[in-house]
Structure 1
């Protein structure tokens, strides 16, 4: 396969499988930017080794396997472990140090919001979680939940409306 054919094939593969591979990588590394890096590494390996691909399996399965291996290697890496240790130390230090009144109030407010979100009906709760906590866009949420994009947008809008009224009601009752 000459270079031009490899370039065209890689471009087609990136367009067809890129988003799926990022979601797959994200499920392992739990960080959107790192997931994109893992997929970029997958595409580099794919480009370098496409000539040796035997077509015993689908190219999709091959790409999934490369992506999973990239993620597992990353999670075993020294860099990842050091970042995790530093994060743990920082979080521990923050919990030991005396908190300011604002930090305490912010934590309380965040817990209240989480509780309020948890009280939403499942169909609203899941889109809010995927949108705000997993940082998925409407199209990705639609694919994950197997519903139309407009349904996702409608559920997000209605969830926001319900949350606003629930928070206002809680603030009114709390006074």
Structure 2
């Protein structure tokens, strides 16, 4: 069977392989922000890349492949959240310790991990419309304009929601959101 060749001259298999290599971890992290479950995020990420593989022939080049992929990931994650399965089946996640720590750095690492985990938990507790902005802005280093394009929002809407998300995080951290020390 001959593979379909994309406009760039690469085969679909090669394009998907490059997308998975370049953006797989980022997509996984994005999906996790929606579902809060590592194994489920991995499964959904696989489904996203399968969906992209099947839909690659429909890619029209209006946006970059990266933006197109992120849009598919966001929509797929939101569809899952709205699905019957999510509402009716409770998935239990078990976390395993993935790194071994040096004995001398153990206390420092435990404190840092505790602080990082607390901040991560606060971000994950935000409503999706704020959580996704925090993710894209701080973790993916997207600009306001890129986020607006990706989420099909107005630039001012992104700015307002980002300001509100920062305020919510600041309040949750016990600070005054109006003291100038924003997240």
- TM normalised by structure 2 equals 0.47
More helix by share: 1
Point out which structure has higher relative CO (alpha carbons under 8 A, 6+ apart). Answer: 2
Q: Considering only CA atoms, is the larger Rg found in Structure 1 or Structure 2? A: 1
